[in-house]
Amino acid sequence: MAKLNNPFLTYGYKGPEYFCDRETETQAIITALHNERNITLVAPRRMGKTGLIHHVFNHTGQTQPNVRCFYIDIFPTKNLQQMVQAMARAILGKLDSPSQTAMRKVSQFFRRFRPTVTYDEITGVPTVSLDIAPNEERGTLEQIFQYMQQSGKRCYVAIDEFQQILQYDDTGIEALLRSYIQFLPNVYFIFAGSQHHVLEQMFSSVNRPFFQSTQMMHLGPLDESKYRKFANDFFAEQNREISVDLFHQLYEKMYGVTWYVHAVLNRIYQNSEEPITQKLLEQVISQLVDEQSPVFQNYYGAMTVNQAAVAKAIASEQMVEKPLSQDFIGRHKLPAPSSVQTSIEKLESNQVIIKESTGYRIYDNFFALWLRSLP
């Protein structure tokens, strides 16, 4: 692949050379799948779940050519029908070599669902869409699983943003999926998502269909010194270096969350003529915050007066262990604890704030900085 102009990607996965570390996690996922175990991958937003899945699949493709890997993001799906459609598009036709015979086989297998096959103009890779009538979703899903099974190939299926299924009006999807998954001898799953309460409940509650059916994996921040080395390998090409101290500042400020650190590194790399100083770091961060200011203005405008006050107070202290304490409430002239409690719950469910082991903080690091710049 052609060398990228900027090695610090802010979206997508472009190969192992641009992917930092995660060796232990990669190996753990590969081992689990290899040993007939499913994985549930949980991490706060923008930590690197999707990238890790692609990294694992890339590695699997290189080392185990007989395994087929499928990635499905169900975030945009609103019901079971759309989810099944997304799975059909990702899986059907990609299990075999993209030959006419193979496509005829798929079409034959799914003839009930009037399949249409389209070929990518550049790569020639076929995509199969099914015409799924209302009430036929469950049957279609069953056929997709049967199709994978009868292929005889080992299949790894990643379903990203899995918590989305709880938003569907369709009932019993967990049980439905579970019933297929349990009896498929050659298909293994990675379920990934960011709402850890939701996912943990789904996979660790005795009364839920997925109980103990997968291995839980939590993804934390990248190791700071490995991350710095990764960055400096690229900066060295520009005869530059980010110091231990400055990298530490950046990492701490962003709570080690990969996307934020990467977004800043991307801009620093872009300013290739300037030495990497405190001034450049601050300039780049404030530029990133400014660019999003219209969005932040909207978030802020949509909050109630109390929620806005609580969010501002949390942002100003960065991390708040006890937001209901007299101390915190007094310092920021917030309303009574019960009102603060209500605001906290709302802010948390709207993902404006996140609860971590050391307390509450604003979820979006750039939004936190924006809130702190308010008068």
Ligand X SMILES: Nc1ncnc2c1ncn2[C@@H]1O[C@H](COP(=O)(O)OP(=O)(O)OP(=O)(O)O)[C@@H](O)[C@H]1O
Residues in the site for ligand X, rule: CB under 6 A?
A: 9-11, 19-22, 43, 45-51, 194, 222, 258-259, 262
What's the CA angle centered on 303, arms 299 and 308, to 5 degrees?
Answer: 100
User: From Mg ion, ligand X, none, which one binds at residue 91 (CB under 5 to 8 Å depending on kind)?
Assistant: none
Q: Rounded to whole angstroms, how far apart are CA atoms 232 and 247?
A: 10
Q: Rounded to whole angstroms, how far apart are CA atoms 209 and 44?
A: 24
DSSP state, residue 26: H
Instruction: Work out which of 26, 38, 40, 50 binds Mg ion, going by CB under 5 A.
Output: 50
Q: Rounded to whole angstroms, how far apart are CA atoms 195 and 349?
A: 10
Going by their DSSP bridges, the two strands 154-160 and 214-218 should be labelled as unpaired
Minimum CB–partner distance for residue 79 and ligand X (Å): 21
Going by their DSSP bridges, the two strands 359-362 and 38-42 should be labelled as unpaired
Stretch that binds Mg ion, among 23-31, 50-58, 104-112, 324-332 (CB under 5 A): 50-58
The smaller minimum CB distance to ligand X, of residues 75 and 183, is found at 75
Minimum CB–partner distance for residue 49 and Mg ion (Å): 5
Minimum CB–partner distance for residue 323 and ligand X (Å): 24
The smaller minimum CB distance to ligand X, of residues 47 and 314, is found at 47
Residue 164 touching Mg ion (CB under 5 A): no
The smaller minimum CB distance to Mg ion, of residues 50 and 365, is found at 50
User: From ligand X, Mg ion, none, which one binds at residue 173 (CB under 5 to 8 Å depending on kind)?
Assistant: none
Stretch that binds Mg ion, among 45-53, 55-63, 236-244, 273-281 (CB under 5 A): 45-53
Minimum CB–partner distance for residue 28 and Mg ion (Å): 18
Class of residue 320 by CB neighbours under 10 A (exposed 0-12, middle 13-18, buried 19+): buried
The smaller minimum CB distance to Mg ion, of residues 41 and 368, is found at 41
Residue of minimal CB distance from ligand X?
48
User: From ligand X, Mg ion, none, which one binds at residue 258 (CB under 5 to 8 Å depending on kind)?
Assistant: ligand X
The answer to whether the CB of 192 falls within 8 A of the CB of 222 is: no
Closest alpha carbon to 91 in 40, 135, 155: 155
Closest alpha carbon to 125 in 89, 155, 88, 98: 98
Minimum CB–partner distance for residue 312 and ligand X (Å): 24
Phi, psi of 99 (to 5 degrees): -90, 165
Minimum CB–partner distance for residue 196 and ligand X (Å): 11
The smaller minimum CB distance to ligand X, of residues 2 and 122, is found at 2
The smaller minimum CB distance to ligand X, of residues 20 and 84, is found at 20
Site residue total, Mg ion (CB under 5 A): 2
Minimum CB–partner distance for residue 90 and ligand X (Å): 17
Give me the torsion for CA of 18, 24, 28, 29, rounded to 10°.
-20
Minimum CB–partner distance for residue 349 and Mg ion (Å): 20
- Which residues have CB under 8 Å from 242's CB, separation 6+? 228, 231, 232, 235, 250, 268, 276
Give exposure, 247-284, as e/b (b: 16+ Cβ within 10 Å).
beebbebbbbbbbbbbbbbbbbbeeeeeebeeebbeeb
The smaller minimum CB distance to ligand X, of residues 144 and 362, is found at 362
Q: Rounded to whole angstroms, how far apart are CA atoms 170 and 80?
A: 6
The smaller minimum CB distance to ligand X, of residues 81 and 163, is found at 163
The smaller minimum CB distance to Mg ion, of residues 49 and 228, is found at 49
User: From Mg ion, ligand X, none, which one binds at residue 213 (CB under 5 to 8 Å depending on kind)?
Assistant: none
Minimum CB–partner distance for residue 14 and Mg ion (Å): 15
DSSP H helices in 39-162: 49-63, 80-91, 100-109, 137-150
Binding residues (CB under 5 A) for Mg ion: these are 49-50
